[in-house]
């Protein structure tokens, strides 16, 4: 008799193991189509079931061959499963004007407080940004807040009314093969905005917008951007930092093998007067420029409103390297390093920079105020650096 009990116990243990094994390899699927009408809270209902599931691997499926009505949706955690995937293969299309349900919304799709999320797919999010009146609040297409070990793979976002992707308070994020597009004239349509986040890798993506291609804001460190094509738009920006006399920090940012086509700026660091903190250990390396208005910019007097009070404090900019820049500039002033008299910029280094004018008869030049460092094999020459 005791033997039988032992055998039963072994059997039970074994079947639990089997179920566990099956669960880790075969995901439990939550197809939004089985949650009723499209655009009727189906995504939210599917998410609630997925998030509370006892499986450890779950997938929310937004299948292809379908167009879905985009509603504001908040995919919120924490969730029970350890592997969460959102597979977006269908197209999500926003209404052409704000409706009663979504007037004043800040985001279309929001992912909050999730661990180990993968957002993948061949689908698209069409924000219909052109249809939003300029005076009304315009939503960001995709927001990731407080997500760790996050992967964003292969998505497309068109015509977001505001930023395409915002990443805040996230740690360990990989984003690859993403395609973001909005007209050159569309206001505030940043491609990817990063703030208060660490260990971010953005790679193999194409971003055409009316504002920054990638913007790296305060609280961010260890950011790697590799093989991105930007343009049109405002280039890859660090900042703006130190607005309203704030303390801002950005460090360990490395941008390499990127191409800028017809952008207003290439590599830019911008800080407001009156702020404090630092931007340091920043590299832009192996950059190709095609008709970029201004290729290399450090601006410690950032002031988009035309009048800003003059202040002594500034966010300190140090240890910045621009290496291997090659291509053409639209503006004759191809390089502009404009640092404050009180704080200045230190250890600013350029090497192997060769920028020629997009109009062959013109000769580009560099301007430089209160920047200290070295320039090696750099054309046009940068006056205040040691050549």
Ligand X SMILES: *[C@@H]1O[C@H](CO)[C@@H](O)[C@H](O)[C@H]1NC(C)=O
- The contact set with ligand X (CB under 6 A) reads 65-67, 89, 91, 120-122, 124, 153-154, 222, 252, 254, 264, 281, 293-294, 301, 330-331, 336, 338, 354, 356, 367, 369, 379
Q: How many CB atoms lie within 10 A of CB 16?
A: 10
Q: How far is Cα 288 from Cα 310, in angstroms, rounded to an integer?
A: 35
- Cβ neighbours of 301 (radius 10 Å): 16
Burial class from Cβ neighbours inside 10 Å (0-12, 13-18, 19+) for residue 296 reads buried
Structure tokens at 140: 């960001």
8-state DSSP, 27: P
Report, in Å, the least distance between residue 215 CB and ligand X. Answer: 17
Residue 5 vs 219, nearer CB to ligand X? 219
Give the separation between CA 320 and CA 228, rounded to whole angstroms. Answer: 20
Q: How far is the CB of 316 from ligand X (least distance, A)?
A: 14
CB-nearer residue toward ligand X: 228 or 289: 289
CA distance 194 to 214: 8
Q: Using CA atoms, how far apart are residues 278 and 30, in angstroms rounded to an integer?
A: 45
Q: Of the candidates 75, 112, 113, 72, which has an alpha carbon nearest to the alpha carbon of residue 92?
A: 72
Taking the complex as a whole, how short is the minimal distance between the CB of residue 325 and ligand X, in angstroms? 10
Place of tokens 């320039």: 375
Residue whose pair of structure tokens reads 């990731």 in the numeric block: 144
48 versus 331: smaller Cβ distance to ligand X: 331
**Cβ of residue 135: shortest distance to ligand X, in angstroms?**
25
Closest separation in Å from C-beta 354 to ligand X: 4
Which is catalytic among the residues 83, 164, 234, 305?
Answer: 234
- Closer CB to ligand X, 135 or 244, in the complex: 244
Closer to ligand X by Cβ: residue 133 or 254: 254
Our answer to whether residue 234 is catalytic in this structure is yes
Q: Most distant CA pair in the chain: distance in Å?
A: 99
Catalytic annotation, residues: 234
């Amino acid at each position: 008799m005791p033997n039988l009990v032992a055998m039963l116990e072994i059997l039970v243990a074994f079947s639990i193991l089997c179920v566990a094994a099956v669960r880790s390899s075969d995901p439990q699927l939550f197809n939004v189509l089985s949650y009723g009408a499209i655009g009727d809270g189906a995504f939210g209902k599917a998410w609630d079931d997925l998030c509370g599931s006892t499986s450890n691997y779950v997938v929310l499926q937004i299948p292809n061959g379908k167009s879905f009505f985009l509603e504001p949706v908040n995919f919120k955690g924490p969730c029970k499963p350890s592997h969460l995937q959102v597979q977006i293969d269908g197209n999500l299309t926003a209404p052409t004007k704000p409706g009663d349900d979504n007037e004043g919304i800040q985001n279309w799709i929001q992912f909050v407080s999730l661990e180990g999320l993968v957002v993948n797919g061949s689908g698209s999010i069409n924000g219909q940004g052109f249809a939003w009146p300029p005076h009304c609040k315009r939503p960001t297409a995709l927001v990731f807040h407080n997500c760790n070990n996050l992967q964003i793979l292969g998505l497309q976002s068109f015509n977001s009314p505001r930023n395409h992707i915002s990443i805040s308070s996230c740690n360990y994020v990989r984003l690859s093969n993403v395609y973001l597009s909005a007209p050159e004239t569309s206001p505030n349509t940043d491609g990817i905005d990063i703030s208060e986040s660490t260990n971010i890798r953005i790679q193999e993506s194409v971003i055409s917008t009316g504002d920054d291609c990638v913007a790296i804001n305060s609280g961010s460190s260890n950011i790697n951007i590799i093989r991105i094509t930007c343009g049109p738009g405002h280039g890859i920006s660090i900042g703006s930092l130190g607005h309203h006399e704030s303390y801002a920090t950005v460090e360990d940012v490395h941008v390499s093998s990127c191409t800028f086509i017809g952008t207003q700026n290439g590599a830019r660091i911008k800080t407001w007067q009156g702020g404090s903190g630092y931007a340091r250990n920043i590299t832009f390396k192996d950059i190709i420029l095609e008709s970029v208005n201004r290729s290399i910019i450090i601006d410690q007097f950032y002031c988009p409103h035309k009048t800003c009070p003059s202040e002594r404090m500034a966010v300190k900019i140090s240890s910045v390297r621009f290496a291997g820049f090659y291509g053409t500039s639209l503006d004759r002033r191809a390089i502009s390093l404009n640092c404050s008299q009180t704080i200045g910029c230190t250890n600013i280094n350029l090497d192997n920079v060769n920028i020629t004018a997009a109009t062959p008869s013109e000769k580009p030049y560099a301007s430089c105020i209160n920047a200290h460092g070295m320039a090696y094999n750099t054309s046009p020459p940068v006056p205040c650096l040691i050549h």
